[in-house]
Amino acid sequence: MKTKILRILENANGYVSGEELSRELGVSRTAIWKNINSLRDDGCVISSVTNRGYRLENIPDFLDKDIISRKLGTSVIGKKIEVLKTVDSTNDEVKRRASKGEPSGLVVAAEEQTRGKGRLGKLWDGQKGGLYFTALIRPELPPSDISSITLAAGYGVCLAIREYTGLDARIKWPNDIIIGNKKVVGMLTEIAAQADMLEYAAIGIGINVNNDCFPDEIKNKATSLCTELGRKIDRNDFFRCVINRLDKVISSFIISMSIDDITSFTKLCATIGKRVSVQRADKPIEGTAREINRSGELIIVDDSGNEYVINSGEVTVQGIY
């Protein structure tokens, strides 16, 4: 109920009366009033004026594990949530906890990372207002199945963004998320494994949420939800939506990646049908991304009709950063 009220107030241009809210949500005005007070307890500033109603003045922009956990109801991811003010990297923190036996489901988020990690050994320079976190899972899978985890994480976050903001977020295979041709989410999944079984996977996710300025090197390639929407969003509420989606999608992809899962993923994948190139030690591959197969691999066809199966590596997509 609180989330619904918050969304209505966020989208309103000015005051919304208690009567309108109670009509739209099918509950009494007393219920609206109680929920408004509870939102105020969460740190939202909501003004009220007799005969006009309520207006959202400000939403709190600090992560709060109690607010995030409230009514979460996930089966694994988010069973335990920790929010740190600062940490070297949430991936490293989760790996340290995992090596001491932390069970599946822990999510560690941080307002600031001093050594955030990107792919290919690069640093991830997350700006204030973003959402940076790592989820720990211990699936009973062979290490080769890491790609299903990677795809599931990208798909889950993409669905959460679409659902929460209505923005046309798409996946750049395997798991970057873009809006238009700019990156809004980056992910780094790290694993520990025995020869034939994963010990754990640390799924690290960085989402540009309320950050609206970027360093010069990436400012033409990166965007944020706030930049695209033209307003800030409630990070706690959005984070809950992301955790919910990740929990559902990851459980389903891990049980078995069905043809329906692949079809749904493909529909949101911006890479399919585009000209792409992949750096390879011997020679680069250039061609058109044709499809994603049952194992989640990308099939590229070059101009002579040769088919290549790509399961990892950086894919450059024409027209996207």
Tokens of 248: 């559902």
Q: Using CB under 6 A, which of 2, 55, 119, 275 touches ligand BTN?
A: 119
- If one asks whether residue 89 binds ligand BTN (CB under 6 A), the answer comes out as yes
Torsion angle of C-alpha atoms 20, 25, 29, 34, degrees rounded to 10: -120
Q: Please, are residues 61 and 87 in contact by the beta-carbon 8 Å criterion?
A: no
Which one, 18 or 174, has the nearer CB to ligand BTN? 174
Instruction: Write the interaction track for ligand BTN spanning residues 166-205; mark x where CB under 6 A is met and - where it is not.
Output: ----------x---------xxx---------------xx
Q: Using CB under 6 A, which of 129, 206, 287, 296 touches ligand BTN?
A: 206
Q: Please, are residues 81 and 109 in contact by the beta-carbon 8 Å criterion?
A: yes
Q: Please, are residues 157 and 183 in contact by the beta-carbon 8 Å criterion?
A: no
Q: With CB under 6 A as the contact rule, which of the stretches 43-51, 87-95, 137-145, 252-260 interacts with ligand BTN?
A: 87-95
Which one, 308 or 321, has the nearer CB to ligand BTN? 321
Residue with tokens 């923005």: 167
- Number of residues lying near ligand BTN (CB under 6 A): 21
Q: Using CB under 6 A, which of 74, 113, 147, 150 touches ligand BTN?
A: 113
Residue 265: HSE in the Cβ half-sphere, 13 Å Cα cutoff: 33
Which one, 187 or 270, has the nearer CB to ligand BTN? 187
For helices 2-11 and 18-25, angle between their N-to-C axes, nearest 10 degrees:
120
Q: 103 preceded by cis ω (within 30°)? A: no
CB of 82 to ligand BTN, least distance (A): 13
- List Cβ<8 Å contacts ≥24 apart for 28-33: 31/1, 32/5
Q: With CB under 6 A as the contact rule, which of the stretches 35-43, 109-117, 238-246, 248-256 interacts with ligand BTN?
A: 109-117
Strand partners, 310: 298
- Beta sheet of 315-317, edge-to-edge order: 307-310, 298-301, 285-292, 275-278, 315-317
CB of 302 to ligand BTN, least distance (A): 26
Instruction: Write the interaction track for ligand BTN spanning residues 126-155; mark x where CB under 6 A is met and - where it is not.
Output: x-----xxx---------------------
Nearest-angstrom CA–CA distance, 187 and 117: 9
Nearest-angstrom CA–CA distance, 234 and 127: 17
Which one, 74 or 134, has the nearer CB to ligand BTN? 134
Which one, 1 or 84, has the nearer CB to ligand BTN? 84
Q: Please, are residues 289 and 300 in contact by the beta-carbon 8 Å criterion?
A: yes
Binding interface with ligand BTN (CB under 6 A): 89-91, 113, 116-119, 122, 124, 126, 132-134, 176, 186-188, 204-206
